[in-house]
Chain A
Amino acid sequence: MNEAVSVVLVDDHTLVRDMLHERLTREGIEVVGLAASGEQAVELASAARPDVVVLDIDMPGLSAFEAARAVRKASPETRVIFLSAFVHDRYIDQALGAEASGYLTKSESPEAIVKAIRKVHGGAMSYSLAVLDRIVVDKGGARLANGSKSKSRTLTEREWEVLGYVAKGMPQKQVARLMGVSVKTVQHHVMHLMEKLEIHDRVELAHYAIREGLIEA
């Protein structure tokens, strides 16, 4: 008999969320919450303190990676698995940065997702061999070797986060509110990242973010 696992499912696509809900429930996994955004996920996880949070990466609002950090802060025992339609080095790199326990793609079978949840709950990790092969451990923790192209490597975590929001067309005021910083700080980050990337136009910035897999079109 499998040990009881409590899970919060976070995906803005209702169909996917419902399908997984139904499937996990049938497999004996207790789905203690369903969320459609990062903010909801943090809220639910803080209240329910689930064993595992399954987080879709591309969702409106708060970045999934920030949500993962907030979840781990609110509930340190909760383990996070990212679920995405895409395999991007940048995503994996950020998932490692957010200390996620696994990274799955939506093309994997529901069985694989169930297996991963159980594995992660058992204290193991769920990264593919290809990803494990490329992980580098350094002073700061784990990251992906050659995780992203040279220019993007120069951005800080904060700048990456701002880039994600700005490229989505979010006003700076909203970004500041979401990140809990002043508008001036956001402007500072935007200025810095534009300088680093040598991009001086928001449309180009959005294109860049899409190419880097930071946001989906």
Chain B
Amino acid sequence: MERPAKDPTSEGRRFGGVTLAVAAVLTIGMFGWQAYHLYESYQAVAERDSGECPTRAVEAAYSAGERLDYLTEEIEHSLFLWGADATASPLPELAARYDATETELVLALEQATRLSKGKVLEAVEDLEAAHVPLHNHVDGVFRLVESGQSGRAAAEIAGSQFLGLRSDYAAALNGMWTASRLHLVEQLDKERRTEVLSVGVALGLFALAVGAWGVFIGRIRRGQNRLQQEERQRRRAEEDLLQAQKMDALGLMAGGIAHDFNNLVTAIWGSATSARQQLADGHPALSAIARIENASEQANGVVRALLTFSRRTESSRAPVELGALIDETVRILESLLPASVAVEVDHPADTKLWVLGDCTQLQQVLMNLALNAHEAMPDGGRLLIRGWHCTEKSDDDPRAVIEVTDTGEGMSAEVLARVFEPFFTTRAPGQGTGLGLSIIHGIVTDHGGRIRVDSVQGSGTSFFINLPAIEPPLHDPEIADAPSIIGHSRNELVLLAEDHQHVREIVAETLATAGFRVLQSASGAEFLDTFNSRSDEIQLLIADVDIPAPNGVECIRVLREAGVDTPALVITGMPAPGLEAELDGVASVLRKPFTMTKLAEVASDLVRGAPV
């Protein structure tokens, strides 16, 4: 079973659908990605703003810790300066501030412990660990002051243990600060890297989406262009069809008119010649009759032209080489065209343009077009006649094209639309029949070809004739002698036996046209009788095998047995293999079907004694 051909339209549509889906998915992906990162960034900012942020908690702890460190130092100075009367010193106020700040620090550290992670949490815990012994130590100092042992308290606070505890506390505080800063920097770094990745991916998606949309829009554009092109082609085909229908209708009409007109002209002409014959020489009506005959002859010419346009005339078909035809036509044109018209010829030298056609009619086409071109160039110009090969787009059939281009006045669109119509002419009345291009159209169409005309007013006109090309013939018809039945004989007498009256008469007519004299017989008996009565004159015997008894072969055998050596030809329509061998030395054989030309040739060869 034959596989159905792929439908290019549905395939294209499928590809367009896939492209659209990819473009849509990429676009949605791009927006989704961006939305996700927008949400993430918003979350991070909101977290920082709400205070529920480890960095802020660490910062608060650090601030409280620093202040506490400062207050511890103040308490130390105060005890050192006011040691004897510690209660009169600013110590109580410092103690109150110390308690408040210490509470603040504890709270901040609690929050920082809750929110922090990793190294920051370790640093926070280190600070807590360093803060507790220092705090206990300061508490002990306060208790000594309260119990009136200010001197001991001052000594306690200036001692090496206190210095050591403060130093540890300061180191832990700095450690926490550094860890927090490092963490912050790392976090910002991480955020920036994520941002770079995010923007990169978004840009990539964006580029892909733009690309996919581009492909999709490109496809739509191409589709639109193709549609427009198809629309143009369709419109052109419609115009061509309309034109063809118009020409067809005109052809029918012209043919119909020509048919009736032809009968009228026949009657007028026949009657006029009849009248002329009945009048004595010098009769005054003779000149009028001559004018009628003349007019009838002209009318006959118009009828012939109309018949050619309507494709009613007979044309012969033989291989014609268009290159040679162009050269031949140009040779004739050179004597007809003035020197101001430069004729250029161009056709392939290596490959020949063979078509099957009527050489005379095709030459008429070229001559008419060339002479029209000359008329379009009254002040001279360039006439180009080109020939080339091409291939038909629709079916890959080889075609031969002839172009006839002039640099003349060109034609308007209105003229162009009607240029092939019969009786349409731009010439002054009486200067042309308006049938020239109609005839050309008729001839080209009759040859299975097409004719197209392009024209630009003021620049010139081009006619393109597109004909079906054929393979080069094996024998060049120009070289081969045209076969004909004429001139094969010099009045020799032939005896013919054929029972089919119509065939016999046609064969006899052919032999007579070839120059023979013919004796006809319808049976074997009649054939032998006729021979016996004119045996001295008869120079050729032709007998169909299948005639009433005795049959053709028997007749010839009878004569041979009687010693008659007149050349003989036996015609047969039966397959009868081996007849030639059987009749070797007795008679030649011509098998049906055969042409009259062949018959004349064979008959001629036989009377001359040439082998057949």
Contacts and interface: CB of A to CB of B under 8 A. Distances in A.
Contacts of B508: 124-125
Contacts of A133: 483-485, 595-597
Given A107-B266, A137-B503, 6 more contacts: A22-B274, A99-B502, A125-B505, A129-B513, A132-B510, A133-B483
Interface string A3-40: 00000000101011011101100100000000000000
A210 B255 contact: yes
A129 B274 CA distance: 27
Interface stretch (A86-94, A157-165, A170-178, A185-193): A86-94
B595 A135 contact: yes
A78 B105 CA distance: 146
Nearest to B270: A19
Given A107-B300, A124-B509, A132-B510, A138 B595 contact: no
A64 B271 CA distance: 25
A73 interface: no
A66 interface: no
Contacts of B267: 13, 15-16, 18-19
B447 to A, nearest CB: 13
Given A124-B509, A129-B513, A132-B513, A137 B593 contact: yes
Interface stretch (B24-32, B312-320, B328-336, B392-400): B312-320
Nearest to A91: B314
A184 interface: no
Interface in B483-534: 483-486, 500-503, 505-510, 512-513, 520
A217 B485 contact: no
A181 interface: no
Interface stretch (A43-51, A139-147, A194-202): A139-147
A96 B262 CA distance: 24
Interface string B116-149: 0000000000000000000000000000000000
B592 to A, nearest CB: 5
Contact of A106 (B263, B593, B599): B263
A109 interface: yes
Given A141-B502, A142-B503, A216-B255, A110 B270 contact: yes
5 contacts: A13-B263, A85-B263, A109-B270, A129-B484, A216-B259
B304 to A, nearest CB: 8
A127 B274 contact: no
B457 to A, nearest CB: 35
Contacts of A19: 266-267, 270-271, 274
Contact of B485 (A123, A132, A211, A216): A132
A115 interface: no
Interface in B292-334: 300, 307, 310-314, 317
A211 B311 contact: yes
A134 interface: yes
Contact of B274 (A26, A88, A135, A139): A26
Contacts of A123: 505, 520
Interface residues of B, number: 53
Interface in B546-598: 571, 573, 592-597
Nearest to B574: A139
B256 interface: yes
A61 interface: no
Which of A16, A135, A138, A146 gathers most chain B CB within 10 Å?
Answer: A135
Contacts of B506: 96, 125, 127, 132, 135, 137, 142
A113 B470 CA distance: 40
A129 B487 CA distance: 12
Contacts of B260: 13
Contact of A134 (B263, B502, B512, B595): B595
A135 B596 contact: yes
Interface of B: 248, 252-253, 255-256, 258-260, 262-264, 266-268, 270-271, 273-274, 278, 300, 307, 310-314, 317, 483-486, 500-503, 505-510, 512-513, 520, 571, 573, 592-597, 599
B271 A85 contact: no
A127 B573 contact: no
Given A87-B313, A107-B266, A138 B485 contact: no
A135 B502 CA distance: 12
Q: Which 10 A-B pairs have the closest CB atoms?
A: A15-B267, A138-B593, A125-B509, A139-B573, A217-B256, A99-B502, A13-B263, A19-B270, A106-B266, A85-B262
A75 to B, nearest CB: 14
A41 B510 CA distance: 29
A16 B596 CA distance: 33
B483 A139 contact: no
Contacts of B274: 19, 22-23, 26, 110
A135 B266 contact: no
A89 B315 CA distance: 9
A101 B259 contact: no
A216 B260 CA distance: 10
Which of B271, B310, B599 gathers most chain A CB within 10 Å?
Answer: B271
A1 B197 CA distance: 123
Contacts of A13: 260, 263-264, 267
A88 to B, nearest CB: 6
Contacts of B597: 133
B287 to A, nearest CB: 20
Interface in A99-136: 99, 101, 106-107, 109-110, 123-125, 127, 129, 132-136
B503 A23 contact: no
B441 to A, nearest CB: 15
Contacts of A110: 270, 273-274
Nearest to A211: B311
A136 B313 CA distance: 22
Contacts of B594: 136-137
Contacts of B310: 217
Contacts of B573: 138-139
Nearest to A23: B274
A217 B595 contact: no
A197 B386 CA distance: 36
